[in-house]
Chains A and B, each alone.
Chain A
């Protein structure tokens, strides 16, 4: 790995994004709007306090999955990835560059969304608000890692978008938001135990309910999944192709 190339790649990805203000606006504003909609639906009541933090976990995961999978698919199909790998770029320079760039965007997204939720919508959490933001950033990295990995199994943007309902929705249904995970049928409960989003939402619930939340275990699991997916993603970046 070469720090110069990693940082150059992160800066390049952010510059590309800067040329696309509409995508930036959508990434940064839509989560806050959805949270406001939810607040309206529940009339700002206790259910909003319970579900709000879970959504703070889901938005960055979903949004970063989408942008990363499409961005890296473009790199694979346009030949830029092949050119970079024929240069001194290491696979991890490429992966870490993306993680760094979209991690930064996720941080801004989480700050805005958490700011709106707590400042404007009076979301009540027992634990400190900065932990909500921290968990959201780790979820974003999970989305980046999954997106990078999945882009290897799609050859068009149509296909890659279809991975969203296939890989993200089941995690959403089983993460404990609709039915608490311990009340799910045994098989589903066991499945939810091996899905990373479950741990992300658990961490958010912990921050919401506990004045002294212990979330590093859950964050560790989310981070572990991210690292494993990035390693698998690295294996799909091939210098030589047929």
Chain B
């Protein structure tokens, strides 16, 4: 399917004694905004790492934009934000972004644009180590906005942010998707689900649901995403028990 930005078939990831993902399939269309929800330990980060190509996999295939995940061709086309901010605490916000911009070979004008997009303009010349946790993770997010990545894999980018900023960032994610980028955004905050076109509910390495929010609510009869999730978890547990 040429329209797939991400195509996963039979993915298997083993970490230590644990099989995190097994026989996992997923397609994500280009220019879409997909929310990846699930409790911690459900395999969200592992799945994202596999898509970026930094996760050792035990089997299956992961293709991104028609190439094997992590392929040289993808290095400046796929942007990735880890849960823990991967930035230099002993550099200022601007110095961090200028360095990553040089590595990516994108124009320096991108640096100020990305700083504005995450609303850190007033802190551009502050040392990252002196920022709050939420501000630090925004520096990490700004790095992913440098250049024009075609696929953005964002692992809990809005954790610890105030509601106003969260709304702003989700608007930004929608704009990026409307401009043709493919976004996969994980969260364990269920109300963020309402901002995604497509929802994936992951639990214990399995997809409990892959639907739109209205579809999910209709199917479960729940009032919101959190209710739908709880309903699906209960159903899955009953199936295991019986």
Contact = CB atoms under 8 A, between A and B. Distances in A.
Interface stretch (B29-37, B81-89, B223-231): B81-89
Contact of B103 (A16, A20, A84): A84
Contacts of B56: 240-242
Contacts of A11: 99
Interface SS, A side? helix
Contact of A8 (B52, B78, B102): B102
Contact of B75 (A8, A20, A86, A241): A86
B86 A78 contact: yes
B70 A240 contact: yes
A85 interface: yes
B172 interface: no
A159 interface: no
Chain B interface size band reads: 20 to 34
Interface string B55-87: 111000000000000101001101010101111
Contact of B70 (A5, A88, A239): A239
B143 interface: yes
Given A88-B75, A240-B53, A83 B90 contact: no
Contact of A86 (B52, B57, B90, B95): B52
Given A86-B75, A240-B55, A242-B15, A80 B103 contact: no
Interface in A91-145: none
Contacts of B55: 240-242
A87 B53 CA distance: 11
A15 B102 contact: no
A5 B101 CA distance: 10
B54 A80 contact: no
A88 B103 contact: yes
Contact of B99 (A8, A20, A78, A239): A8
Given A79-B86, A83-B143, A240-B55, A16 B91 contact: yes
A82 B105 contact: no
A79 B84 contact: yes
Contacts of B84: 78-79
B165 interface: no
A12 B99 contact: yes
Most chain B beta-carbon contacts within 10 A, residue among A86, A88, A239:
A86
B102 A5 contact: yes
B26 interface: no
Contacts of A241: 54-56
A87 B143 CA distance: 11
A239 B53 CA distance: 8
Interface in B94-115: 95, 99-100, 102-105
Interface of B: 15-16, 52-57, 70, 72, 75-76, 78, 80, 82, 84-91, 95, 99-100, 102-105, 127, 143
Given A9-B103, A11-B99, A88-B103, 14 more contacts: A4-B105, A5-B103, A15-B95, A19-B90, A78-B84, A79-B84, A82-B82, A82-B86, A83-B80, A86-B75, A88-B75, A88-B104, A88-B105, A242-B56
| Across the A-B interface, the 10 shortest Cβ-Cβ residue pairs | A79-B86, A8-B102, A83-B86, A12-B99, A88-B75, A16-B90, A240-B56, A80-B86, A242-B56, A19-B90
